[in-house]
Amino acid sequence: MRLLILMLCCLSSACATGVPAMQDRIDALMAGYDGDGPGAALLVVRDGATVVRKGYGLADIDNAVAVTPTTRFRLASVSKQFTATAVLLLAEDGTLSLDDPLRRWLPSLPPATADITLHHALVHASGLVDYEDLLPDGLDRQLRDADVLRLLEAQDHLYFVPGSAYRYSNSGYALLALVVERASGLSFPAFLQARTFAPLDMAGAVAFVEGASVVADRAYGHSRVDGRWLRTDQSPTSAVLGDGGIHASIDELARWDAALHDDRLLRDATRTQAFTPHIATGEADVDGYGYGIRVHGAGRQRLLWHSGETIGFRNVMLRWPERRLTVVLLSNRNAPRPYALARRIAALFDDDTQD
């Protein structure tokens, strides 16, 4: 008995091997986010249980507000899986079909877009012109999704024939948010609240619209400029919702992750369709793009993931569904990109997550 107690004590303090306890190892990896600079929130879910849930550094430098698990970050392109899910919910309702021409719902688009389907927009195979390349010099206001439509109405050409190639398209996802509004009769934020956030108890998650909604426990984006951290929370494209406008915490993303394992939100067949690599991308660690998600590997090594980058924020969400392992790292700073670090953290829990 004495020997057993001694072994347990050593294991709990990791003194038997000299290896730090798991949380100590994670804290060492996350040290760059700790302290009095902009920080990060880290979530690790294994076998349906949250095993790491911690904030580092500051959500708001100006007011010295610490990051916590309830801090809400702008997800940037991690939002695309929510936009895709909104379209898929309407497809399950029978309100629309993924084979619908985009112009069925947005008839003001020019003739060149006639062959683009909702499926093409979901998998970045539309060929739509990048709206960020169309912004006028000296733009002094923020664009909305409807402004993206107006910009594209004047572009009667595409990068390629729809379905023939892949080109990551924020334009496509901004238009998909408008399709959700036209098909459902609700604003995009209201649809997400009614069909996703409320059913999953993601109470504070929001598709943020200035003056119409509030982000509680908000992290503000920062960028390193001349050796100092400056608040850089908004840009002219920050109000576009379909491609990256959702704010959420790691606690809320834990509920989102859980819903992607069963049919509480989408049917099994729909989730399979969403997580299928429909088109090759040529990107690192990506075998193909599904609906709002990147797919890499197969079987037990299948990784479903997405990064999110916008002014002042760098995020990533990694899911190995067959291993029941998820890592989410959200940060309110312009660097570094967190993908490699999230992979290192995942490797602490399962060596097979590495290629």
Residue type (1 letter), 188: F
Residue with tokens 């309100």: 95
Q: How far apart are CA 158 and CA 149, in angstroms?
A: 14
Q: How far apart are CA 58 and CA 39, in angstroms?
A: 5
Q: What are the structural domains of the chain?
A: 34-350 (3.40.710.10)
How big, in percent rounded to 5, are the helix, strand and coil portions of the chain? 35, 20, 45
Marked catalytic residue, from 13, 77, 213, 331: 77
pLDDT string in tens for the chain (355-residue length): 443 333 334 333 343 334 469 999 999 999 999 999 999 999 999 999 999 999 999 999 999 999 999 999 999 999 999 999 999 999 999 999 999 999 999 999 999 999 999 999 999 999 999 999 999 877 778 889 999 999 999 999 999 999 999 999 999 999 999 999 999 999 999 999 999 999 999 989 999 988 888 999 999 999 999 999 999 988 878 889 999 999 999 999 999 999 999 999 999 999 999 999 999 999 999 999 999 999 999 999 999 999 999 999 999 999 999 999 999 999 999 999 999 999 999 999 975 544 4
Q: Is 97 a catalytic residue?
A: no
Whole-model pTM?
A: 0.92
